[in-house]
Structure 1
């Protein structure tokens, strides 16, 4: 028996009755869960449907989600409208954007031009987000950037693949961390979605793009969300596609006043931001397995670490780190994940 689901269903039915006058049966269908503790369900009526969210208040910051949703919507970003909320129980009723994620549209028979067109649509919406007023969003500061990189050593190296690091190895990773953090903080600071990729973007009516899963938004480096989108941990695109789209972003963001960096400096910032994000993500995937029992994310660690090695190999200052990856980390990862 799932008491929270039953309670959510009855609460949502009551909310919809107050909003529309429609009487519904309290039956929910599963939409998805995600890497957090939130669960999403759909409640369907005669002509409409709604998304019902179970977000335990002791685990999730629901007031922040609601505040961001309403602020971004007022500023023109296409996020689901919050139609009802019960902060104490951790329930929300949201506008239903349907079930057409950007991810399958990119992969189910899309040709080169279609892939580019869809990503350009996502980049245009990203620039809209970056133009928003940051308001009371937390700052993506040095402490948070460093804490995220530590997930790689703590959860992936030490716990998941049993790779005990020496003092010299810790110093090496600290040196890499210093470079990555300095680069992130030197970039223009904008509104950052923080998980902006094709599984969190939806194709809505009339070709509009819907943005979901934005509750962890912060003020941070301008390249962060672009890395999330184009060097997505869950997929790998040919370099020429990524290069074309980064150039597209650079031109459009510069014209929009979001970015004021020469392309070479922007490209380096993009690369180094990707290293920070991929170190973080690889650690999070290990934590999801160990702490939360979500083993499916282990399959995404190798692709994430290949990104890390490829980009680090482009810069002389990471030569010692690349040697460590090749000689110590990657063999241990292959063994530890097999």
Structure 2
């Protein structure tokens, strides 16, 4: 179905669900998925929080709408601010959810002292990581197969399409060796509820709280993954000394990390980030070539810098670093 037809169908569905007149049904910015968002108002609502709402077009063939509803309930049970879900139709792929506002953490950082919003974001992450993984019985684990699949996005879209290159047999082996490194690094860490995309654009500052969105891809995975996602954000970079301080302070307050040697913790953090950033580069390229969304291309240099920084830090990644510097020498991004 064409996008225009789906948006009209979504509007009609919202009107059908609502007992109030629906006003100003307006398209919002989209994310790195096939979801589309529309902000609307309810004419009869008195409170602002009850007036502003969001309609989500999430095609069922590509989006995890049932998982979104399930994780939303789980996060809410643990005191985490998430959008209330007022209505859903899984067959159509439509959702009606609360509007947490337009103030992403990434925007707030431009005008606010740094420590407060990040303190809130880290406190919220602690709540997520405190969820008992037994409550995630049917959730995927972030294991070798999962990691291999994610790194395949980088190889297909960033290397294959964006850099117009194909891996040789030797280079394919380098990638497989790196998958093993990532899998070992992940399984060595405490396993927690993992948002999988915990960064400044998925965190909303709402009445001095952090609201969390885009959580439908939650899995069970390594404790450092969401932490590095936030602190080495693809969309905003901080000095490494500041990142190290945040990491150290976070570990001091978590009983699962407090006795972990500093160099081991740093390696967990670094390798988790390297794997994530390679996957992100693949997604940025896929957005450009498959979905004609070029807005993420500007984030490639920052993310690429993270990749080169970490791959050049560890001797066991020397072959990978050499391979990556080959693409750096022929840089097209």
**Same-fold status (TM-score > 0.5):** yes
CA-based RMSD: 1.8
Counterpart in 2 of 1:102?
Answer: 105
Counterpart in 1 of 2:132?
Answer: 133
Other structure's SS at 1:43 match: strand
- Could you list the per-position Cα deviations for residues 95-122 of structure 1 after superposition, in whole angstroms to 9, with x for gaps in the alignment? 12111111111123x3xxx212211210
Moved more, 219-228 or 232-241: 232-241
Structure 1 runs (4+) deviating above 4 angstroms are 257-260
- Could you list the per-position Cα deviations for residues 200-228 of structure 1 after superposition, in whole angstroms to 9, with x for gaps in the alignment? 000112x0110000011100111110111
- Could you list the per-position Cα deviations for residues 220-275 of structure 1 after superposition, in whole angstroms to 9, with x for gaps in the alignment? 11111011101111121111211111112111223xx5775233211110011111
Contact 1:130/1:258 (8 A) holds in 2? no
Counterpart in 1 of 2:145?
Answer: 143
Q: How does 1:75-86 map to 2 (within 5 A)?
A: 75-86=78-89
Counterpart in 1 of 2:42?
Answer: 45
Other structure's SS at 2:271 match: helix
Q: How does 1:189-200 map to 2 (within 5 A)?
A: 189-200=191-202
Counterpart in 1 of 2:288?
Answer: 289
Other structure's SS at 2:29 match: strand
Counterpart in 2 of 1:180?
Answer: 182
Provide the TM-score with structure 1 as the length reference: 0.90
Moved more, 179-188 or 194-203: 179-188
- Could you list the per-position Cα deviations for residues 8-53 of structure 1 after superposition, in whole angstroms to 9, with x for gaps in the alignment? 2232233231xxxxx2135412232111111111111343211111
Q: How does 1:275-314 map to 2 (within 5 A)?
A: 275-314=274-313
In structure 2, runs of 5+ residues without a counterpart are: none
Counterpart in 1 of 2:168?
Answer: 166
Other structure's SS at 2:183 match: helix
In structure 1, runs of 5+ residues without a counterpart are: 18-22
Provide the TM-score with structure 2 as the length reference: 0.91
Q: How does 1:202-217 map to 2 (within 5 A)?
A: 202-205=204-207, 207-217=208-218
